[in-house]
Amino acid sequence: MLLDFLKTSANLKNIPRQGWIDKLEISNPESVADHTFSMAIIGMILSDSKNYNTEKILKMILLHDLAESITGDITPEQKSGVDKKRLEEKTMKEILSNLPKEIQSQYLKIWDEYQDNQTNDANFVHQIDKFEMALQSKIYEKQTNPKKTKVFFESARKEIRDESLVKMLEKLCE
């Protein structure tokens, strides 16, 4: 059963980030696994430097898009937020069912916390998600019309409040 979980998780390497295809027409975009790895690096460094619970932050990052290993990367234009959440919740329960019960409930609780975005930890991870999106957008500027990437920077600016992330975002946008 653990092997099934690992194979499903590894499938994130094959799931392209759909927003880059739809909005920037990037032909070979990063995968969801690429995005998650980049978020994990950012989260590890910032949570250690800010005395967050790094282990929990990293678990939240690693779990936050795991459902996409089955559903694919669903954009807001493809499915409403309510429908997407329902589908991803069902999918997460299915994926996590391949783990021991105590781990299932712990991981589902962390994933739910991220989805609800009501705690400092969840909000911090959401901000990291937005910052990583802006960082990748900057990388893609060279492959597309830079005017098209503005929407990603504007979206990040609206969401990011953490002082370190705000400073890095401003430097990124220069």
Query: Average pLDDT in the 110-114 region?
Result: 98
Q: What is the domain count for the chain?
A: 1
Give the domain extent around 166: 2-173
**Residue 119 backbone class (left: φ over 0; alpha: ψ -120 to 50; beta: rest):** beta
Q: What pLDDT does residue 79 have?
A: 78
Q: Across the strands, what pairs with 31? A: 16
Mean predicted confidence (pLDDT) in 35-59 = 98
CA dihedral angle for residue 159, residue 106, residue 103, residue 18, rounded to 10 degrees:
-20
Q: Specify whether the CB–CB gap between 12 and 89 falls below 8 A.
A: no
Query: What number is the average pLDDT over the span 107-114?
Result: 98
Please determine, for residue 81, whether its predicted confidence score (pLDDT) is greater than 80. Answer: no
pLDDT at 174 over 90: no
**pLDDT value for 66:** 98
Instruction: Kindly indicate the confidence band of residue 65, based on its pLDDT and cuts at 50, 70 and 90.
Output: very high
Which distant-in-sequence residues (6+ apart) come within 8 Å of 15 by Cβ?
31, 32, 33, 68, 69, 72, 73
The arithmetic mean of pLDDT across residues 43-62, rounded, is 97
Mean pLDDT, the chain, whole residue set: 96
Taking the C-alpha atoms of residue 173 and residue 86, their distance in angstroms, rounded to an integer, is 35
Task: Please give the structure tokens belonging to residue 8.
Answer: 């499903």
Check which CATH number belongs to the domain holding 161 and give it.
Answer: 1.10.3210.10
Residue type, 114: Y
Q: For 87-101, how does the pLDDT look when each residue is reduced to its tens digit (9 = 90+)? A: 999 999 999 999 999
pLDDT tens track for 147-159 = 999 999 999 999 9
Q: Which helix (H) or strand (E) holds 4?
A: helix 2-10
pLDDT at 145: 86
Residue 109 confidence (pLDDT) above 90 = yes
Compute, in degrees rounded to 10, the torsion defined by CA atoms 46, 170, 73, 58. Answer: 0
Residue-level pLDDT at 60? 99
Mean pLDDT of the region 35-40: 99
Q: What is the pLDDT of residue 108?
A: 98
% of the chain surpassing 90 pLDDT: 88
Q: pLDDT-derived band of residue 161, with 50, 70 and 90 as boundaries?
A: very high
